Amino acid sequence: MSAAAAAVARGPVSGRYLTFHLGQSRYAVPIRDVREVVRLPAITAVPQMPAHVRGVMNLRGAVVAVLDLRAKFQMGAIEYADRACVIVFDAGRGEGAGACVATIVDGVDDVLPLSAAQLAAAPDFAGAVQADYLLGVATTPEGVWVVLNMPNILATEGSLVLPALTTDVSTAFEPI
């Protein structure tokens, strides 16, 4: 079993998570995967790219690819508001270490410290989504977040379908 597959099998681990939203759907990513968060910059389109690749941006002199998570997750397009921003992730593995990939989100919400009791393995969606893209779910008194496996999502070509989760805390999942 690869290290990535083992991490998915174990589910998320306690620590700090950056939370963000796309429409009404709420997501979390381990803060260790995030390089930085910046306001939505000017993006230069690149011809003949998939629909979820918006183009490139200049990040202090570095050219960074920008993906639209709404398009990647097959959500409807919107006109981005003032809260829209870009989350920059480290994408360097092996060759090109230090490379980044940015994703557009509707808004960043918070950095939450989550304990093992608040985290659970991803529920079985009856094959509706590949487990490689989800680390699990997080529940707090404020609601439920889908914990994403961003390295796998960023490495996957094409778009993905992620199911919506209820934000009703009464349907919280068993801790791992």
**What's the confidence (pLDDT) of residue 10?**
57
Fold of 3-160: OB fold (Dihydrolipoamide Acetyltransferase, E2P) (2.40.50)
d(CA 151, CA 165): 21
Question: Which phi and psi (to 5°) does residue 24 adopt?
Answer: -90, -10
User: In the structure encoding, which two tokens stand for residue 16, read together?
Assistant: 């700090």
**What's the confidence (pLDDT) of residue 133?**
83
**What's the confidence (pLDDT) of residue 81?**
83
User: In the structure encoding, which two tokens stand for residue 101, read together?
Assistant: 């990939």
**What's the confidence (pLDDT) of residue 110?**
94
**What's the confidence (pLDDT) of residue 176?**
37
Q: Where are the beta strands (DSSP E) in the chain?
A: 15-22, 25-30, 34-39, 53-59, 62-68, 85-90, 100-105, 107-114, 119-120, 134-140, 143-148
Mean pLDDT of successive 10-residue stretches along the chain, which has 176 residues:
46 91 94 95 91 91 92 86 92 61 95 95 66 87 92 71 41 39
**What's the confidence (pLDDT) of residue 153?**
86
**What's the confidence (pLDDT) of residue 128?**
54
**What's the confidence (pLDDT) of residue 161?**
44
**What's the confidence (pLDDT) of residue 122?**
81
**What's the confidence (pLDDT) of residue 97?**
52
Q: Residue 144 contacts by C-beta under 8 Å, 6 or more apart in sequence?
A: 26, 137, 138, 165, 166, 167, 168, 169, 171, 172
